[in-house]
Amino acid sequence: MTEVRPAERPQPGEPPRGETSPVVSENSRVIHGLRVPMRDGVELSLDLVRPDLPGPLPVVLQRTPYDKVMGRDGEIYRGLVERGYITAFNDCRGRFNSDGVFEPHFHEADDGHDVIEWIAAQEWCDGNVGMLGGSYAGQTQWFAASRRPPSLKAIVPYCSPPASPWRNEPIFGGCLMLGITEWMVNMGARSYQRLNPMSMLTEHQPYFNSLPLTTLAEQAGAGSRWLEEMLRHPVLDEYWKRRSYDVHPDSDLPVLNITGWWDMNFPGAPLNFEAMRTGRAADKQKLIIGPWPHMVNMWRELSGADFGEHAVIELNDYVIRFFDRWLKGIENGIEAEKPVHVFVTGANEWWAEDEWPLRGTEEVPFYFRSRGRANSLDGDGVLSTEPPGAEPADAYRYDPLDQGTRVWRMHEGPVDERPAQQRHDVLCYTSEPLTEPLDVVGWVTCRLWASSSALDTDWHVRLSDVQPDGTARFLCRGALRARFRESFEEPKLLEPGEPTLFEFTMDACGVRFLPGHRIRVQVSSSGFSRYDRNTNSGAENFFADDKIVIADQRVFHEAELASCVVLPVVRRG
Residues noted as catalytic: 135, 263, 294
User: What are the DSSP calls for 158-169, one per residue?
Assistant: ES---SSTTSSS
Maximal CA-CA distance, the chain: 78
Cα–Cα distance list, 324 to 52, 54, 107, 269, 327 (Å):
19, 18, 30, 22, 6
Rounded-to-integer distance, Cα 211 and Cα 233, Å: 17
User: What are the DSSP calls for 81-127, one per residue?
Assistant: HHTT-EEEEEEPTTSTT--S---TTTTHHHHHHHHHHHHHTSTTEEE
Alpha-carbon dihedral angle through residues 218, 223, 224, 229, given to the nearest 10 degrees: 70
Rounded-to-integer distance, Cα 368 and Cα 427, Å: 10
Rounded-to-integer distance, Cα 562 and Cα 447, Å: 8
Rounded-to-integer distance, Cα 295 and Cα 135, Å: 9
Cα angle for residues 88, 92, 96 (degrees, 5° grid): 95
Cα–Cα distance list, 208 to 181, 217, 235, 284, 423 (Å):
8, 10, 21, 43, 21
> What count of residues does the chain have?
573
User: Given its phi and psi angles, is residue 6 left (phi above 0), alpha (psi -120 to 50 degrees) or beta?
Assistant: beta
Q: Which residues pair with 318 in a beta bridge?
A: none
**Sequence letter at residue 322:** F
Q: Which residues pair with 382 in a beta bridge?
A: 369, 430
**Sequence letter at residue 501:** L
CB distance 368 to 558 below 8 Å: no
For residue 337, how far is the Cα from the chain centroid?
Answer: 25
Strands (E), 139-284: 152-158, 171-172, 175-176, 255-260
**Which is it for strands 285-290 and 255-260: parallel, antiparallel or unpaired?**
parallel
Rounded-to-integer distance, Cα 392 and Cα 397, Å: 16
